[in-house]
Amino acid sequence: MAFAAAPSPIPSRTQYVLEAIKHAILTGQLPPGKPLVETELAALYGVSKTPVREALKTLAGTGLVVMSQYKGATVRTVDAAMAREVYDVRLLLEPEALRRTITRRASLDAAGLALATADTAADQAERSLANREFHRALYLPCGNPLLARMLDEVRDQAALVSTVAWSAEPSWRREADEHRRILHLAEAGDADGAARALHDHIASFVQRAFPEDAQ
């Protein structure tokens, strides 16, 4: 009996380059609008241009990189319109996903662990990654894999918005307090209260970072 071949994993060199470029983008080492030259990145990471090219294509698919026939690849630029577009998706989907997670009485241990990691983070990069894991731990157990995947698809873009906003005005202490309140309500089984708190948390961040009168 013949079995279908499993999908081929991303080659290890491509994965290495992908994670390295993503980390550089999400920590501000490669700022928005920065050209991503294949030869330069290949030399930096000690690989050929092929894994660099494949990594950039993948990052373009996640929204972190923009590919242009004439300009090549660049780090995506963050402006108010882009930020509100990404956060609008989160506002529509993430509170409902959390409500379902709580209703299902799914474990929130991963969210607590991520919150503790963020509190003891050594730098902005580690804190940003922990914050992303906190939010994912709230929506991942919602019981609807498609809903979770849709939110996963905007995670990197949301992180890019946060990186730009934090560079202008670090607000992670306030966000940490809001995270603790959300988790407290969720652990208490208050689905509506936790969903409202999460909605307010997401909305207030983008309003502070990209106020309407700044357009």
Span 160-186, pLDDT tens digits: 888 888 776 777 788 899 999 999 999
pTM over 0.75: yes
Structural domains of the chain, with CATH = 12-75 (1.10.10.10), 80-214 (1.20.120.530)
As a whole number, the mean pLDDT across the chain is 89
Which pLDDT score, from 0 to 100, does residue 40 have? 96
| Contact between 183 and 112 (Cβ < 8 Å) | yes
pLDDT digits (tens, 9 = 90+) for 43-62: 999 999 999 999 999 999 98
d(CA 63, CA 147): 18
| Contact between 162 and 83 (Cβ < 8 Å) | no
Which pLDDT score, from 0 to 100, does residue 169 have? 72
Residue in this structure with the two tokens 């995947």, named with its chain if needed: 149
Three-class SS state of 67: strand
pLDDT digits (tens, 9 = 90+) for 88-110: 999 999 999 999 999 999 999 99
pLDDT digits (tens, 9 = 90+) for 184-215: 999 999 999 999 999 999 999 888 888 874 44
DSSP H helices, the chain, are: 12-26, 38-45, 49-62, 80-103, 109-119, 124-139, 145-153, 155-168, 172-187, 191-209
pLDDT of 2 > 70? The answer is no
